[in-house]
Amino acid sequence: MTPSRDSIIRLRKVTLHYGGDEVVREVDLDIRRGETKVILGPSGVGKTTILKAILGLLRPASGEIEVDGEEISKLPERELVKIRLKMAIVFQGGALFDSMTVGENVSFRLREHGLAPPGEIEERVQSALQFVGLAGAVKLKPAQLSGGMKKRVAIARALAAKPEVILFDEPTTGLDPINAFNMELLILKLKESRQVTIVIVTHDVGSALRLADSVAMLHEGKFIFEGSPGELQQSSEPVVRAFREPGSIVL
């Protein structure tokens, strides 16, 4: 495919599996620079699998994946490392290193890949932690944090690396309603204040409607809907309706 300037991530006819059955089959997806894209779908449909493929952690069985103008599906591992530096992922549980302090967690990638001069690291860590409202937590260990705080540290860690794309895997799942609300506010703040592309995978329709510029819904290995939150709300596609309003289905 010809590299795109408008899209930072593109999937073309991508098929993914783990050796057994196909998880997704010949899917296309376009994520425009600077947009917030939500990939919506039920549990087990392949949302995390798609994120892994975008990060080059899972090679497609067939099809092409383009990240920032480069086709990555056949790149050797050392080239993939460079591509991954353009992106940061916030995992579902935060995935912090328990033995390190919050500050060390946030600066880990900067030090590991030499992404910032040593003199700048502390400032980057402080500003990232400030953004997520945890400036005072720099010396704490993950065990001293609540689940919501861990997720915010994971966001600070993603931000510190100044990526072009931030991928969120189920940012609100497992949080109580107040922490889930605060997480959405944080993503909205990120959306407003930074020129970053945001990709969110979730099964939460409400989150999708509140956060997305555009939504792609995955069902049985295919994208069955793509459009704005307004279009998602209006869609009469039966699977979309059933997912949006489970109460509307007569069992």
Ligand X SMILES: Nc1ncnc2c1ncn2[C@@H]1O[C@H](COP(=O)(O)OP(=O)(O)OP(=O)(O)O)[C@@H](O)[C@H]1O
List residues binding Mg ion (CB under 5 A). Answer: 48
Our finding on whether 48 is near ligand X (CB under 6 A) is yes
Our finding on whether 152 is near ligand X (CB under 6 A) is no
- Give the pairing of strands 87-90 and 222-227: unpaired
46 binds, options ligand X, Mg ion, none, Cβ within 5 to 8 A by partner type: ligand X
Our finding on whether 44 is near ligand X (CB under 6 A) is yes
203 binds, options ligand X, Mg ion, none, Cβ within 5 to 8 A by partner type: ligand X
Our finding on whether 207 is near ligand X (CB under 6 A) is no
Residues whose CB falls within 8 Å of the CB of residue 165, separated by 6 or more in sequence, listed in order? 8, 9, 31, 67, 86, 87, 88, 196, 197, 198, 199
129 three-class SS: helix
The minimum distance between CB 203 and ligand X, in angstroms, equals 5
171 binds, options Mg ion, ligand X, none, Cβ within 5 to 8 A by partner type: none
The minimum distance between CB 126 and ligand X, in angstroms, equals 33
The minimum distance between CB 173 and Mg ion, in angstroms, equals 9
Cα(233)–Cα(241) distance, integer angstroms: 8
Cα(53)–Cα(148) distance, integer angstroms: 27
Sign of CA pseudo-dihedral 18, 21, 23, 24: positive
Cβ atoms of residues 115 and 50 within 8 Å: no
Our finding on whether 174 is near ligand X (CB under 6 A) is no
Complex with ligand X: residue 103 or 171, whichever CB lies closer: 171
Residues binding ligand X (CB under 6 A): 18, 23, 41, 43-49, 203
